[in-house]
Amino acid sequence: EPEVTQTPSHQVTQMGQEVILRCVPISNHLYFYWYRQILGQKVEFLVSFYNNEISEKSEIFDDQFSVERPDGSNFTLKIRSTKLEDSAMYFCASSPTGGIIGEYFGPGTRLTVT
Amino acid sequence: KQEVTQIPAALSVPEGENLVLNCSFTDSAIYNLQWFRQDPGKGLTSLLLIQSSQREQTSGRLNASLDKSSGRSTLYIAASQPGDSATYLCAVDNNDMRFGAGTRLTVKP
């Protein structure tokens, strides 16, 4: 069964550094999402992406975040200058229909900012 | 703004019990509702998805119901096992998914 994959599984970075989290959505899906989960807290929506542009973003998704679909398969989340509070699990998801039949989640990337 | 609440926050039961987890949401204009399982430090495993036009879905010992008009869903787990111990998350989708804080379930042998 096709699945969403994410790399790396764990990333450790120093405060102020840039990180890029990578996701390969399911190949025929058209809608892409990033979520994050700070340890012990709720899973929170960050951004949705469709037709090569952001369709919706939350208040968390400020100017230090950006997303890109650089080629036909990858979907990336960049954090420009990481802060300690960016430490979290980041989940990528994709959907063929914009949510009507659900989103498929990747296994997550654990980001640790030191 | 959609708010999703899950009750109880934690639940501990002896093996073999049937149990019900509750989820409520404030905006009934949803595409679907999903129940996920999350093991400590791990990703999200989708258990059941109920589309807005559906009332319930079943998979093995799991049954999820949806009452969109009242903004409620329940996840019923029959004959619970220690391997069911995990956090169960409810999420509703109206363009993007909003998650509840989860119910942490412990099933004691």
Distance between CA atoms of residues A74 and A69, nearest Å: 6
pLDDT of residue A20: 97
Contact A21, A113 (CB under 8 A): no
Q: Find the CB nearest B96 among A45, A91, A105.
A: A45
Does B96 score more than 90 pLDDT? no
The rounded average pLDDT for each run of 10 residues, N- to C-terminus, in chain A (114 residues) is 92 97 94 93 93 92 94 92 96 82 88 97
pLDDT tens figures, B45-64? 889 999 999 999 999 999 99
The answer to whether B46 contacts A105, with C-beta atoms less than 8 Å apart, is: yes
The answer to whether A43 contacts B89, with C-beta atoms less than 8 Å apart, is: yes
The answer to whether B97 contacts A45, with C-beta atoms less than 8 Å apart, is: yes
Question: Which spans in A41-99 are helix H?
Answer: none
* Pairing between β-strand A109-113 and β-strand A10-13 as defined by DSSP bridges: parallel
Shortest Cα–Cα distance, A17 to chain B (Å):
24
Neighboring chain A residues of B34 at a CB cutoff of 8 Å: 102-103
C-alpha angle with apex A24: A48 to A114, nearest 5 degrees?
Answer: 80
The contact set of A with B (CB < 8 A) is 33, 35, 41-45, 48, 55-56, 58, 89, 91, 93, 98-108, 110
Number of alpha carbons in the 13 Å side-chain half-sphere of residue A2: 12
